[in-house]
């Protein structure tokens, strides 16, 4: 196989230079090449996180996760101390079905407390794994719930008060695949690790000795300068089929990616954060921000080489490009994954289904509206307080949440727990956005206002709150987060939330 693109990757090109299309063939930076660490030599095979189907009895399924630490080989030439679940870095992909009763035992074998949150899952707040559910070192937390979500790619990660970014950066993250009867019936690539491939995107900074640089950058926290896919740099995927589905998760603490293939080939988006789209949508680029997922299907010719890249946003995602604004990396162009097509005799792939699922619209004509204004580092002028209820929901109907990024120069990425939503509209920005399908996290360029039709899981509980927050984890950890409580009609929230953790601010 020829790795022709290997010397053409760039990262952190100079500010103000927009990625250019050269001869319509390959997207490369218009200025000097700066190869990130770990990308110079031979690529390594893309690691596939193990598929964990749990221990099943009928529709009851049990999983065991152990948070642990150890040395992993993110870089080819040295080891890095990392955290992981059931291993030293990242975690297994958990497979669940809609309607399953799930039980998870999570044992914390680290020497500090952490939590585990089920991102995108509709479930009782006591099982949600937010900052109110710390798992002390040496102890085990055992949430249980019934899977109410449709087929989707979800994920799990820590949600530790003030430390979510650091814990995720160290490697505590894994995917969840939910399947249901509708996804079973579809002729989409679905052989895990063969033609159904998880891609966990992260970025890191390294010290000279290979250890993670855990110093927060001003305004950027733990944003990295070295991209990784499934925990390594310079990963290569040898396809064995002519059609591959990638389940892509942005597990980075701060970085947005603008995904594209090196030859600008079209691909099909088949699922958003919270499940399948009504029909595949053809794209040549696709933005993904911290916490978001997309599933795409791409066709590959035998023996060909192609590279999945991040090509930078031509409009810098609406972020000013000046000396006063932190460099959020919105114009960075770099390779993520080199891919080689299958052997010549690989069978022809079937055509993609024209329809994936029935489109569902929420009736929000009479819905309760609420407004949320995000500005550094607060929401509606309030920073996170674990004993304050910001929103009380006392019904089981959808709501319209109107979310504004009030910063003129910073992006944000708004996530709601226990919910899925449709993006009804985005105003206040010229950035071209793609927000099809059910989502649980939405990117907000500077000045943008998004109207969201939100459907919550209804598990009334006056004591345990859910979170809404910016999923740029430095922002979340600095306080850009609030709490909502769902109760029965006419009921109030409890005087003391959760187990009473956190100081009440008067
Ligand atoms: Cu933010």
The Cα–Cα gap between 485 and 472 comes to 23
Is the four-CA dihedral 284, 426, 159, 36 of positive or negative sign?
positive
Compute the distance from residue 468 Cα to the ligand 1 centre, in Å. Answer: 12
* Complex prediction ipTM: 0.84
Q: Residue 411: its pLDDT value, please?
A: 98
Q: Residue 503: its pLDDT value, please?
A: 53
Compute the distance from residue 422 Cα to the ligand 1 centre, in Å. Answer: 20
Torsions phi, psi for 333 (to 5 deg): -125, 125
Collapsing DSSP states into helix, strand and coil, what is residue 502?
coil
Compute the distance from residue 278 Cα to the ligand 1 centre, in Å. Answer: 30
Compute the distance from residue 48 Cα to the ligand 1 centre, in Å. Answer: 30
The answer for residues whose C-beta is within 8 angstroms of residue 393's C-beta and 6 or more apart is: 368, 399, 456, 484, 485, 486, 487
Three-state SS string over 245-297 comes to EEEEEECCCCCCEEEEECCCCCEEEEEECCEEEEEEEEECCEEECCCCEEEEE
Compute the distance from residue 164 Cα to the ligand 1 centre, in Å. Answer: 13
Query: What is the chain's Cα-based Rg?
Result: 22
Compute the distance from residue 365 Cα to the ligand 1 centre, in Å. Answer: 29
Residues of the chain with pLDDT under 70: 1-34, 503-506
Collapsing DSSP states into helix, strand and coil, what is residue 474?
helix
Compute the distance from residue 101 Cα to the ligand 1 centre, in Å. Answer: 34
Compute the distance from residue 469 Cα to the ligand 1 centre, in Å. Answer: 8
Compute the distance from residue 288 Cα to the ligand 1 centre, in Å. Answer: 14
Compute the distance from residue 374 Cα to the ligand 1 centre, in Å. Answer: 8
E runs forming strands in 36-158: 44-45, 51-52, 55-57, 60-72, 80-85, 93-97, 101-108, 117-119, 140-141, 144-146, 152-157
In this structure, are residues 61 and 54 in contact, taking their beta carbons and an 8 Å threshold?
A: yes
Compute the distance from residue 470 Cα to the ligand 1 centre, in Å. Answer: 5
Compute the distance from residue 412 Cα to the ligand 1 centre, in Å. Answer: 4
Compute the distance from residue 33 Cα to the ligand 1 centre, in Å. Answer: 30
Compute the distance from residue 203 Cα to the ligand 1 centre, in Å. Answer: 17
Compute the distance from residue 37 Cα to the ligand 1 centre, in Å. Answer: 27
Q: Residue 76: its pLDDT value, please?
A: 96
**Of 249, 238, 210, 237, nearest to 226 (Cα)?**
210
Collapsing DSSP states into helix, strand and coil, what is residue 145?
strand
What is the tens place of the pLDDT at every residue in 142-167? Answer: 999 999 999 999 999 999 999 999 99
**Of 381, 384, 372, 365, nearest to 505 (Cα)?**
384
**Angle at Cα 97 formed by Cα 180 and Cα 178, nearest 5°?**
80
Compute the distance from residue 446 Cα to the ligand 1 centre, in Å. Answer: 10
Token pair for 72: 């992993």
Task: Spell out which residues have Cβ within 5 A of ligand 1, the ion.
Answer: 412, 470, 472, 475
The answer for residues whose C-beta is within 8 angstroms of residue 269's C-beta and 6 or more apart is: 277, 280, 281, 282, 283, 286, 294, 295, 296, 434, 436
Q: Which residue has the tokens 């798992």?
A: 135
Compute the distance from residue 26 Cα to the ligand 1 centre, in Å. Answer: 32
Compute the distance from residue 57 Cα to the ligand 1 centre, in Å. Answer: 42
Is the four-CA dihedral 304, 196, 294, 168 of positive or negative sign?
negative
The Cα–Cα gap between 115 and 143 comes to 11
What is the tens place of the pLDDT at every residue in 26-62? Answer: 333 333 356 899 998 999 999 999 999 999 999 999 9
Compute the distance from residue 174 Cα to the ligand 1 centre, in Å. Answer: 22
Compute the distance from residue 480 Cα to the ligand 1 centre, in Å. Answer: 7
Collapsing DSSP states into helix, strand and coil, what is residue 51?
strand
Compute the distance from residue 441 Cα to the ligand 1 centre, in Å. Answer: 12
Compute the distance from residue 499 Cα to the ligand 1 centre, in Å. Answer: 27
Q: Residue 92: its pLDDT value, please?
A: 98
Compute the distance from residue 253 Cα to the ligand 1 centre, in Å. Answer: 10
Domains and CATH numbers, the chain: 20-43+188-340 (2.60.40.420), 51-184 (2.60.40.420), 368-486 (2.60.40.420)
Compute the distance from residue 323 Cα to the ligand 1 centre, in Å. Answer: 20
Compute the distance from residue 414 Cα to the ligand 1 centre, in Å. Answer: 7
Compute the distance from residue 481 Cα to the ligand 1 centre, in Å. Answer: 9
Compute the distance from residue 330 Cα to the ligand 1 centre, in Å. Answer: 14
Q: Residue 249: its pLDDT value, please?
A: 98
HSE-CB for 340 with a 13 A CA cutoff: 15
Three-state SS string over 363-427 comes to CCCCCEEEEEEEECCEECCECCCCCCCCEEECCCCCEEEEEEECCCCCCEEEEECCEEEEEEEEE
Compute the distance from residue 472 Cα to the ligand 1 centre, in Å. Answer: 5
Residue length of the chain: 506
In this structure, are residues 291 and 471 in contact, taking their beta carbons and an 8 Å threshold?
A: yes
């Amino acid at each position: 196989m020829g790795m022709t693109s290997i010397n053409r990757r760039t990262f952190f090109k100079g500010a103000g230079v927009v990625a250019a299309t050269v001869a319509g063939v390959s997207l490369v930076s218009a200025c000097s090449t700066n190869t990130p660490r770990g990308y110079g030599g031979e690529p390594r095979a893309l690691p596939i996180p193990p598929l964990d189907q749990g221990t099943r009895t009928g529709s009851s399924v049990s999983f065991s996760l152990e948070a642990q630490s150890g040395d992993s080989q993110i870089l080819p030439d040295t080891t890095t101390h990392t955290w992981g679940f059931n291993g030293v870095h990242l975690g297994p992909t958990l497979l669940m079905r809609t309607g399953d009763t799930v039980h998870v035992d999570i044992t914390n074998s680290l020497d500090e407390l952490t939590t585990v949150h089920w991102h995108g899952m509709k479930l009782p707040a006591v099982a949600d794994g937010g900052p109110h559910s710390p798992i002390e070192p040496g102890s085990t937390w055992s949430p249980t719930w019934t899977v109410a979500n449709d087929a989707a790619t979800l994920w799990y990660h820590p949600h530790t008060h003030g430390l979510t970014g650091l814990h995720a950066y160290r490697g505590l993250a894994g995917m969840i695949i939910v399947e249901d009867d509708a996804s079973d019936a579809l002729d989409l690539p679905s052989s895990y690790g063969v033609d159904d491939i998880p891609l966990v995107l992260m970025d890191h900074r390294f010290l000279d000795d290979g250890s993670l640089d855990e110093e927060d950058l001003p305004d950027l926290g733990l944003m990295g300068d070295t991209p990784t896919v499934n925990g390594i740099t310079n990963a290569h995927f040898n396809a064995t089929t002519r059609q591959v589905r990638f389940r892509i998760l942005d597990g980075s603490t701060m970085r947005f990616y603008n995904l594209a293939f090196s030859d600008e080939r079209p691909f099909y988006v088949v699922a958003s954060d919270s499940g399948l789209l009504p029909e595949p949508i053809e794209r040549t680029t696709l933005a993904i921000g911290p916490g978001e997922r997309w599933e795409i299907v791409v066709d590959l010719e035998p023996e060909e080489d192609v590279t999945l890249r991040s090509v930078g946003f031509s409009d810098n995602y609406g972020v000013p490009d000046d000396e006063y604004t932190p460099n959020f990396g919105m114009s960075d162009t770099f390779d993520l994954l080199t891919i080689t097509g299958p052997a010549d005799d690989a069978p022809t792939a079937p055509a993609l289904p024209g329809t994936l699922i029935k489109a569902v619209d929420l009736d929000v004509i009479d819905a309760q509206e609420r407004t949320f204004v995000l500005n550094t580092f607060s929401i509606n002028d309030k920073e996170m307080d674990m004993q304050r209820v910001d929103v009380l929901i006392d019904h089981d109907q959808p709501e319209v949440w109107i979310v504004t990024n009030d910063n003129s120069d910073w992006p944000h990425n708004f996530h709601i727990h226990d919910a899925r939503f449709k993006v009804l509209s985005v105003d206040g920005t010229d950035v071209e956005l793609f927000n099809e399908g059910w989502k649980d996290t939405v990117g907000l360029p500077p000045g943008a206002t998004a109207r969201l039709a939100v459907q919550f899981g209804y598990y009334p509980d006056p004591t345990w709150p859910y979170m809404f927050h910016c999923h740029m984890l430095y922002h979340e950890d600095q306080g850009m987060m609030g709490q909502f409580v769902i109760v029965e009609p006419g009921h109030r929230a409890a005087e003391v939330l959760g187990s009473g953790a956190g100081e009440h601010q008067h």
